Chains A and B, each alone.
Chain A
């Protein structure tokens, strides 16, 4: 009986080490209401600040993982005072596709599923082709959220459109409603499904993915909560992406980490949004592919 108890404890302990980044090492160290090991047994732990510390085993207790309902609640509220925007500089894109790789790794997507996709564009017969990364546009007037019959997809106060796959019934009305084809459906078991088994659903990363539900770009809302840039933005090697808070009028480049005024960048670069005439009011702005640093390498249409 005692043996079994210890096994359970070790299981929870492993989970708690994984969550040490969230809970901080202090919560493990400070309280001791569960003593299940003999005194004098030491264990070495890595703290969230990167230090190795030695702790008496009897001092350990499992860290509290955020519950599903807590995740869903904070995921619906959004980050107070923020209004996230993205600016994509098409003149810098050379189809490196690092953004897509980083995104698929972060959000557990199969190779054919894209939250962000780099498209080859040509606007008219005699115009120059160019590469265009296309994430969800996070519209301020989103057509997709209005058609959801179960309130699974919604707009947050900080501008992000999210999906709660615990509520999603897989009707795909939102796919039909979205003019940007930004949503994907999990027709099959998601990638690495066995690795994510038993992980608490994090609505802000939409991980673990679930077969039979919708997934979409969410500006890596879980990273934003930690004060980090979305994974596509920081993965780009060519300085294509600018990301920031519209309320404070500042955007930061994911590659160079340079920060500029959002309004100045838009007006000087003659920015535009996709399908403006639909009145969806996108939050993703494009700078035209003028004075390109790299020649177009794709197939000529």
Chain B
């Protein structure tokens, strides 16, 4: 078989299969006509973005980058033409009911929030009026130190350019290192000089001596190296209660219960004493019978 034939066969076989899998998601006509009650404005779009990051991004990928998770059918990029062939009502129906690998979000995202999510998807409508434009990440040099006496973290964020000007009004995330990851303690906003001060909450648990490893990082939109600070005594001591009680009933000689050991030894010893005494008496009787 020559290649042309093969291609033809693949095309004829694969095309309807794809049609069945991906195109055939019918939406009832009364849903298609629904209009979005949530206003198309920056605030709603930002809220929608938050929802998208939490619930959708892991499968649908970054908008416009066409990097969905390899599922069947392939999740559609929200900035693609195919996504926007749907009306807002269609999208609402599909998000609500789900299909196949896509879970229904009826119980996990409220109706109002689902519409805001659609506001966010509409932000990427080809040729539409894009309100939320992500700026390229700002390169930041982050410096931080812990003040053990005041129990604070002092932070300095500078733009990584020629002048190293302070970064104003930027959120900085302060976390504490734990066994398997960093737990967020809180956030601080930098002032006009790029400085911020964060008071470490009192209930932070450190190691056995109360030493905590603080990690300072920045959120989305900033390109900064995470700063891991040296351990500082700013937390509560970690309490390590003894788990194993000294004595158990069975299993091991090392932690046997004392009363059990003593009663066992006395019972066993007593039995041997009785046996010994009986034998002694028998011998004594024999001797007496001989002598008489």
Knowing A227-B179, A259-B181, say if A249 contacts B243 (CB, 8 Å): no
A259-301, CB under 8 A of B: which get 1 and which 0? 1110000000000000000000000000000011111000000
* Interface of B: prevailing SS: loop
**Which of A150, A154, A248, A259: most chain B CB closer than 10 A?**
A248
Is A133 in the interface zone, CB < 8 Å from B? no
B244 — which chain A residues lie within 8 A by C-beta? 155-157
Near A by CB (< 8 A), chain B positions 236-267 give 238-244, 248-252
**Is B208's CB under 8 angstroms from A252's CB?**
no
Interface size class of B (residues with CB under 8 A): 20 to 34
A121 — which chain B residues lie within 8 A by C-beta? none
**Is A259's CB under 8 angstroms from B240's CB?**
no
**Is B108's CB under 8 angstroms from A244's CB?**
no
B181 — which chain A residues lie within 8 A by C-beta? 250, 252, 257-259
How far apart sit A149 and B249, CA to CA, in the bound complex (Å)? 11
**Is B182's CB under 8 angstroms from A259's CB?**
yes
Near B by CB (< 8 A), chain A positions 190-248 give 227, 229, 243-245, 247-248
Is B107 in the interface zone, CB < 8 Å from A? yes
Please report the total number of A residues contacting B with Cβ < 8 Å.
Answer: 37
**Is A244's CB under 8 angstroms from B180's CB?**
yes
B126 — which chain A residues lie within 8 A by C-beta? none
A74 — which chain B residues lie within 8 A by C-beta? none
**Is A146's CB under 8 angstroms from B251's CB?**
yes
* Interface of A: prevailing SS: loop
**Is B250's CB under 8 angstroms from A243's CB?**
no
Least Cβ–Cβ distance between B8 and chain A, in angstroms: 38
Least Cβ–Cβ distance between B113 and chain A, in angstroms: 13
Knowing A244-B179, A248-B205, say if A157 contacts B243 (CB, 8 Å): yes
How far apart sit A34 and B243, CA to CA, in the bound complex (Å)? 46
**Is A245's CB under 8 angstroms from B239's CB?**
no
Is B27 in the interface zone, CB < 8 Å from A? no
Is B178 in the interface zone, CB < 8 Å from A? yes
14 contacts between A and B (CB under 8 A): A145-B248, A157-B244, A244-B178, A247-B240, A248-B205, A248-B207, A250-B178, A252-B178, A252-B180, A259-B178, A261-B183, A291-B107, A292-B108, A295-B104
What residues make up the interface of B, taking CB atoms closer than 8 Å to A? Answer: 103-104, 107-108, 175, 178-184, 205, 207-208, 238-244, 248-252
